[in-house]
Amino acid sequence: MIELLKETGYGKSEAFLRVAQAISETLPLDSKEKKLPGGFLAGRERLSQELKKDTGQGKLF
């Protein structure tokens, strides 16, 4: 997930987090679908730290 967030730029997008929050807030408390964005939002600080880490040079091939 971290690589996808880096590649797409969504990891730095406040709008992306707002959409995830809005989706989470509109779903019923007992739904499976609510757990996915809820888990993502709960771990966003850790994800933010991972995204800030310098991954060094990318692979050439």
Q: What is the pLDDT of residue 54?
A: 54
The list of the chain residues with pLDDT below 50 reads: none
Q: What is the pTM of this model?
A: 0.63
Q: What is the pLDDT of residue 58?
A: 57
Q: What is the pLDDT of residue 10?
A: 86
Cα–Cα dist 52/29, whole Å: 32
Cα–Cα dist 7/1, whole Å: 10
